[in-house]
A = this chain, B = another copy of it.
Amino acid sequence: MGVREEVLGLALAAQRASRDMANLSSGVKNSLLLRMATALEAAQDELQRENEKDLQQARENGMAAAMVDRLALTPERIKGMADGLREVAALPDPVGEITGMWLRPNGIRVGRQRIPLGVIGIIYESRPNVTADAAGLCLKSGNAVILRGGSEAIHSNRAIGSILQQTLAAEGLPQAALQVVTTSDRSAVTELLKLEDQIDLIIPRGGEGLIRFVSENSRIPVIKHYKGVCHTYVDAAADLTMAEELCLNAKVQRPGVCNAMETLLIHADVAAEFVPQISAAMRQAGVELRGCEKARAIQGDMIPATEEDWHAEYLDLILAVRVVDSYNQAREHIQTYGSLHTEVIVTNDYQRSQQFLREINSSVVMVNASSRFSDGNQLGLGAEIGISTTKLHSFGPMGLEDLTTRKFVVLGEGQVRN
């Protein structure tokens, strides 16, 4: 059997299973997730044994120590996966919700009801815990899921998948509701991405390279975000002590993630005071500053920023700083260089805060808060399946509801159309 046939067979089985999963009660789904959590913990030795095969291979291939670390399934991480499943079990079930129902003049009643998407494909790199995390969210929202992790984690992913499938079977549910693509053939991904009649959504999780590859090769809708070039704009009416705290948190609390601040915009009216203030604070935190000419006129020891810096997602302790003459210039900067991820204004001017909220159409816009809150958990969605910086279907951090869609329900009593 070729890869194409293997992947198609798997997708057809997922599609059949998805019809059963769509009709499960919340109680059955929650019980399933809780048992999966227990099963993962009980299988700790087996999981670590399989994981060791991946780790050994990685070391033999000369993988960098930090990458090897990401691959490792420690007892803490196994417990983390189990706890993640328990958290998802505790979240409200979006499936079945009727979002509005109305009466038409001819007497038919029309409503919209939330249903699962169907079959979701997750394509990811390295961290084997994604296998359990993504599976939990997809199953809780009534979907079937096809998981394709990186080849470097193949033994770990296969072992996790096998335990989760055994739990499905033990609960009398179709094992095809959760499948791990374990062929080492790299064309499995491109074959998977062609199956638009069987798979409803693809979510790539990984670096920009993976996301671009998936996006460019997929016939199936892809939820994606390429990068997070997040801005904080310190307005003329900002509380500068608050501004310093928010900027520091946004830049240094965890610099390597997509909701960290990459560019700081400072209104000219407060630049003389705030540029030296934030420079000192950032330097103390080990942040390298790259400034525009006006910023450097105030703080001469900044590295000159180039056009490239305004586009950059550093994911590191580096910050681009620009002094803007007006709110409008800040807005234009964000619209020109932003990635539609997250933008923050620091201000005590009510009108300005409202204007920013209205005019900046990034996926998350904030007043007087750290950009680091741009995350499904922090925003209150429960667990996060990903973040979208394209506007279709979902925009911003995505939770369980984003793995569903709505159908129209029509209740008639024999009405016909004239």
Contact = CB atoms under 8 A, between A and B. Distances in A.
Interface of A: 19, 22-23, 102, 104, 108, 110, 113, 115-118, 200-201, 215-216, 219, 221, 239, 242, 245-246, 248-249, 253, 335, 357-359, 361-370, 372-374, 378-380, 390-397, 405-417
> Which residue among A115, A367, A379, A392 has the maximum number of chain B CB atoms within 10 Å of its CB?
A392
Contacts of A242: 414
Given A117-B392, A335-B19, A368 B413 contact: yes
A14 to B, nearest CB: 14
Tallying the copies of this chain within the complex gives: 2
A339 to B, nearest CB: 11
Contact of A410 (B104, B239, B253, B369): B369
A11 B301 CA distance: 41
> Which residue among A23, A115, A245 has the maximum number of chain B CB atoms within 10 Å of its CB?
A115
B395 A393 contact: no
Contact of A391 (B102, B117, B365): B117
> Which residue among A117, A221, A397, A416 has the maximum number of chain B CB atoms within 10 Å of its CB?
A416
B414 A379 contact: no
Given A379-B104, A391-B117, A392-B200, A364 B410 contact: yes
Given A219-B216, A410-B379, A416 B364 contact: no
Given A110-B380, A221-B221, A407-B396, A412 B200 contact: no
Contact of A390 (B19, B221, B246, B372): B221
Contacts of A19: 335, 359, 361
Contacts of A394: 405
